Amino acid sequence: NAGVTQTPKFRVLKTGQSMTLLCAQDMNHEYMYWYRQDPGMGLRLIHYSVGEGTTAKGEVPDGYNVSRLKKQNFLLGLESAAPSQTSVYFCASLLAGDQETQYFGPGTRLLVL
Amino acid sequence: DQQVKQNSPSLSVQEGRISILNCDYTNSMFDYFLWYKKYPAEGPTFLISISSIKDKNEDGRFTVFLNKSAKHLSLHIVPSQPGDSAVYFCAASGAPGGYQKVTFGTGTKLQVIP
């Protein structure tokens, strides 16, 4: 049982490049989330999904797209990376009906030059 | 608009003493509150929670207090241990976003000095 895994762990991009961050969970959780963590800003919700095939915008969705084609995977895409997207990205999942525990992945550190 | 605020970015406490981490919120519709703990290079992990129908919840060395009228909650760690050194995030959920949508604070970095 790996929990929540994120790929890659670290990436450097040039401005304008694109990439996809992959999140996978093996706990059969319905809900999945993408957050970004920046100094002094805490964790801010980018997008989330309440089930396979559905996604919704969070607090800071601009510049990102997501897809949830399979229940266990949640992809975060950057079509044209900008330096403002330099951050640490965390994926999380939650069992429907469980108010408490979001399970987080280890994070992806992204540097956009 | 920061709906969940942790006004102290850092806190240092001697081992064995009490650590008190504070959190304020502005949205009166929040009715479920959580604390997460984060070590460097790891994702946050759930620590303890409290529902708005309670004013206290205890789990071992960790106690969370909720003052709804003041829109304030606090996390007490007694006694503090060096392994407690981490960043602590306060979080809140409930209407209107639903319990599946959680709003996090900015975090407080706790250092427990041996």
Select from A62, A16, A102 the least CA-distant residue to B99. A102
Q: Is B93 on the interface with A (CB under 8 A)?
A: yes
pLDDT value, residue B95: 55
Mean of the per-residue pLDDT values for chain A?
A: 93
Residues 75-104 of chain A with CB under 8 A from chain B are 90, 92, 94, 96, 99-104
Mean pLDDT throughout A49-68? Answer: 94
Q: Which residues of A80-100 are buried (b: 16+ CB within 10 A; e: fewer)?
A: ebeeebbbbbbbbbbeeeebe
Q: Are strands A42-51 and A54-57 parallel, antiparallel or unpaired?
A: antiparallel
pLDDT at B99 over 70: no
Please state the φ and ψ torsions of residue B53, each to the nearest 5 degrees: -80, -5
pLDDT at A74 over 60: yes
Least confident of A88-102, B8-22, B61-75: A88-102
B51-60 pLDDT, tens per residue?
A: 889 999 999 9
Select from A69, A64, A74 the least CA-distant residue to A94. A74
Cross-strand bridge partners of residue B74 = B22, B65
Least confident of A55-69, A89-103, B43-57, B60-74: A89-103
pLDDT at A54 over 70: yes
Cβ within 8 Å, pair A31-B107? no
In this prediction, residue B98 has a pLDDT band, given cuts at 50, 70 and 90, of low
pLDDT top residue among B85 and A39: B85
pLDDT at A99 over 70: no
How many C-beta neighbours within 10 Å does residue B75 have? Answer: 23
Distance (Å, rounded) from C-alpha B114 to C-alpha B109? 16
Measured between beta carbons, the chain A residues lying within 8 angstroms of B42 are: 106-107
B44-91 pLDDT, tens per residue?
A: 999 999 988 999 999 999 999 999 999 999 999 999 999 999 999 999
In this prediction, residue B97 has a pLDDT band, given cuts at 50, 70 and 90, of low
Cβ within 8 Å, pair A102-B42? no
- The share of chain A scoring above pLDDT 90, in percent, equals 83
| Shortest CA distance from B10: residue in chain A | A40
For residue A56, give Cα distances in angstroms to A1, A59, A72, A89.
27, 10, 17, 17
pLDDT at B41 over 80: yes
pLDDT value, residue B2: 78
Q: What angle do CA A51, A38, B82 make, to 5 degrees?
A: 100
Measured between beta carbons, the chain B residues lying within 8 angstroms of A96 are: 100
SS (H, E, C) B15-56: CCCCEEEEEEECCCCEEEEEEEEECCCCCCEEEEEEECCCCE
A13-22 pLDDT, tens per residue?
A: 999 999 999 9
Question: Smallest CA–CA separation between A17 and chain B, in Å?
Answer: 25
